Chains A and B, each alone.
Chain A
């Protein structure tokens, strides 16, 4: 019995040694072997087109990244011998970040969403410009999105990720109210991913997109309907309710997609304050905005005379408030009088009828 336990212990110690000493040393030896070439700053290769492509991997950057604890071969799975094949396979992030982890939340679900996105679909079609994981996240330098130096950090997303390809959208965004705040370092206003989502980005025309005509309102309302957020910027949330009660709002709610939603008037990337003379909702520009060919062609300056998000329940609406107020009480009075009459008339006539019946 005792001998057996000793044997067991010895067995365990050997196993432990393998895990603690042998494995790491093999791995680190391998790392060192990779860095023999890839640790050199001038290690590069010439493309068939004649371009020089650097193959240098900065080891200190890699070890400080989110994947710093991984070995080269964890990602470059086909680099198992040296020298390795000339053309290695593309790193397959899904080996770890796949949909099997969808239930746990975290990278799994992101990967799953990415596969449904316009970017993944374009890539599948063979569009070489479409982004894969590395184009946005980087490769050896991936950092947590909470790290201020990370590309994925909120305020870095427009410049360091999306704007790299979507230059026009970026320059418009920078001119917008949203962009002007985020440029100053305010993390509350939306960056690209708040409206377009992070991984599951879809075309505007896709009905499942967050920015589809009938979904976009809900998306703007996430912030513009939130009093605690709007209060910070001296804004009201009244516009949301007034829009919902307007003809535009009702029609959009019932799934009509050719009716004005938030962005139809306020713009998409270049949303400016109405005080800004370049804003689509500036008093001077409203006739043009309302007069779009699909909407109210021939709109005149009269379109700008009066509040747009008018709230009949607010005293600021002036005559509209008072007329609504008057009508409300008139209706209530009429209802009371009518039902009083009906009630009394009914009772009295039933009385008469009974008398006659007897």
Chain B
């Protein structure tokens, strides 16, 4: 395993900082939100005590919601303004190949084919997670603001819309939580390829070797087809 380890930068410093802000706010939002959803359990009641009571819990939740919204808009801004951000988004968009890759991945997981599909810069799983997170933030943001400023929103909408937004907020948050915490954490931590942790979120680097193994098309785009073959 002592091969010549060369690294390339996968995430810039600002991207790493944004990622840290993103997951800290998501974790705190999840904790403060889930304790409210499952307020009847003794664990949640204990956590709510730690959070400084049920009303202060709400204040923490809204504070980190604002940070999350800030992260969201910063990301949109980088997509619109910077070249790197624009390329990032272009690479993230679903293409026809992703469907084929999905099928290939399922076949690989079931042991029906020998090799994993050859992924580009982002795997379909990463793309699904990216858009799931994006859509979740939009839905949660809108419904959350409705619940935050209920009197103002009820000047326009009838009460049942607020009730609906509560249901949507609660369920969508749970869904997003499951996708991010369960699936994403598996992919970057428990996944035997990276266990115990894919360090790229800290140093922003991915080794050439790993890139060739996990994102072969991206590797070829950078280094050309023949190298290392």
Chain A residues within 8 Å of B, Cβ to Cβ: 247, 250-251, 253-256, 296-300, 302-308, 310, 312, 318-320, 323-324, 327-328, 330-331, 334-335, 338-339, 341-342, 344-346, 348-353
Contacts and interface: CB of A to CB of B under 8 A. Distances in A.
B19 to A, nearest CB: 21
Interface in B152-176: 154-164, 166-168, 171-172, 174-175
Contact of A310 (B160, B179, B182): B160
Contacts of B167: 312, 320, 323-324, 327
A251 B186 contact: no
Given A250-B39, A296-B151, A334-B175, A320 B163 contact: yes
Nearest to B164: A320
Given A300-B155, A306-B160, A348 B171 contact: no
Contacts of B39: 250, 253-254
Interface residues of B, number: 40
A28 to B, nearest CB: 65
A256 B154 contact: no
Nearest to B156: A302
A256 B108 CA distance: 54
A338 B160 contact: no
A338 B164 CA distance: 27
10 contacts: A299-B154, A302-B154, A302-B155, A305-B159, A306-B158, A320-B163, A327-B172, A330-B171, A341-B109, A345-B109
A19 to B, nearest CB: 62
Most buried by A among B156, B159, B186, B192: B159
Contact of B160 (A319, A331, A339, A352): A319
Contact of A303 (B36, B159, B172, B192): B159
Contacts of B150: 296
Secondary structure class of chain A's binding surface, majority of residues: helix
B151 A251 contact: no
Given A299-B154, A327-B171, A352-B192, 18 more contacts: A254-B45, A256-B54, A299-B151, A302-B156, A305-B158, A305-B159, A305-B160, A306-B160, A320-B160, A327-B172, A327-B175, A334-B175, A342-B183, A342-B190, A345-B186, A345-B191, A346-B191, A351-B111
Contacts of B162: 306
A302 B152 CA distance: 11
B160 A335 contact: no
